[in-house]
Structure 1
Amino acid sequence: MTRQASIGVIKQLRDLLSQLTPHEYTENLAVLNHSSIGQHVRHTIEFFQCLIKGSLIGIVDYDGRERNLLIETNLPFALNILTDIEHSITTEPDLCRKLKIRANYDGSNFELIESNFMRELVYMIEHSIHHFALIRIGIQEHFKHIQIEPTFGVAYSTIKYKQEILVFEN
């Protein structure tokens, strides 16, 4: 279920991005504090890349991720990476693979926190949805011609809660 949900958020993003022009993808938007859709996509993609790369050595360092500006400036490149990420998640042989997460909050010391691949996929889902909500705001304000799926940028728990309210009210 977690694997499918993570693949689902990647597909949601890919479907939305396929509607954007390269200019729309890279345009700095005032409503996003002058960042672009591409910058939010880059950030989201890089977290997935950190998990996948880190799972090979057993240590994931989200803060030490490579910041690849090509992801935020080249829409076809970003779409290809999303396909690669989906493939990596689909073919991951051990969702319970133990990992350590490197955390550093004071700039000098770091901790290694116990986790596993599936727990980090849960984090990827929530982290992605948070950035999707920001992307949604940018698109709704600046690119009104883009069709946004109603659940894009909405947490699974919120979707479930709203469905329960509708059932209860009817």
Structure 2
Amino acid sequence: MNIIIQSTLKTLQKTQYILTNLSNEQLSNTSVSPYYSSIGSHIRHILDFYGCILNKDLKNRIDLTARSRNTAVENCCNLAAEYLNIIIERLKDTNYNVDDIVMVTDDLGLGKIEMAYTLAAALSQANSHAIHHYAIISYILNGLNISLEDSDFGYNPTTPKKAIQNN
């Protein structure tokens, strides 16, 4: 299995951990300022991003703006876990050539544009994107007074361990 796929699966294990340790009420709680978003909305967003990549068409086109946005996933740990498992199984079951060129459609703020990526670059972006959202989830968890037994949750793998331990 490719190292990028392995890294992605390792990152997504953190979503499994969250979902097994939260209630539906905690998952959907929107009481933490300043954005009043829920842990579930961030998890759904992470999974939608991967879903877009995995839904590349036969012409190797990926549309990052074509997210499913199934809000039921944001409110139910079981539905979120089912969605996560679909993403994980699709990553495991397919033999990806990560060097393939894919055309990625995204909206960077000025309307949709199409850009050439490698599949590796798209998956790498999704992995970093997930970690970024884990940092936001960590902030929400803190606001809800929920602690996880994962000292590097929400930290990029390149963050020095000393910095993680001091926080």
The equivalent of 1:20 in structure 2 is 22
How big is the alpha-carbon RMSD for the aligned residues of Structure 1 and Structure 2?
2.0
Q: Distance in 1 between matches of 2:8 and 2:57?
A: 16
Letter in 1 for 2:152: T
| TM-score when normalising by structure 2 | 0.86
* Aligned residue pairs, count: 160
Cα deviation per residue 1:129-150 (whole Å; 9 max; x = unaligned)?
Answer: 0000010111122133x42411
1:155 aligns with 2:159: no
Residues 26-45 of structure 1 mapped to structure 2, 5 A cutoff: 26-31=28-33, 33-45=35-47
Q: Which runs of 5+ in 1 are unaligned?
A: none
Q: Distance in 1 between matches of 2:124 and 2:83?
A: 20
Q: Which runs of 5+ in 2 are unaligned?
A: none
Residues 103-114 of structure 1 mapped to structure 2, 5 A cutoff: 103-104=106-107, 105-107=109-111, 110-114=112-116
| Higher Cα Rg, which structure | 1
Residues 84-95 of structure 1 mapped to structure 2, 5 A cutoff: 84-93=86-95, 94-95=97-98
Give the 3-state SS of the residue equivalent to 1:30 in structure 2: coil
Report the CA distance between 1:57 and its aligned residue.
4.5
The equivalent of 1:98 in structure 2 is 101
Report the CA distance between 1:154 and its aligned residue.
0.3
The equivalent of 1:121 in structure 2 is 123
Contact 1:55 1:117 in 2 (8 A): no
Report the CA distance between 1:56 and its aligned residue.
4.9
Q: 1:134 to 1:95 in 2, by over 3 A?
A: same
Q: Distance in 1 between matches of 2:32 and 2:148?
A: 21
Q: 1:32 to 1:25 in 2, by over 3 A?
A: farther
Q: Distance in 1 between matches of 2:35 and 2:117?
A: 33
Cα deviation per residue 1:31-90 (whole Å; 9 max; x = unaligned)?
Answer: 351111111111111001001012555111112322111111221011111111111112
Q: Distance in 1 between matches of 2:58 and 2:152?
A: 32
Q: 1:32 to 1:75 in 2, by over 3 A?
A: farther
The equivalent of 1:62 in structure 2 is 64
Contact 2:63 2:106 in 1 (8 A): yes
Letter in 1 for 2:103: K
1:75 aligns with 2:77: yes
Q: Distance in 2 between matches of 1:8 and 1:36?
A: 23
> 1:141 pairs with 136, 143, 149, which one?
143
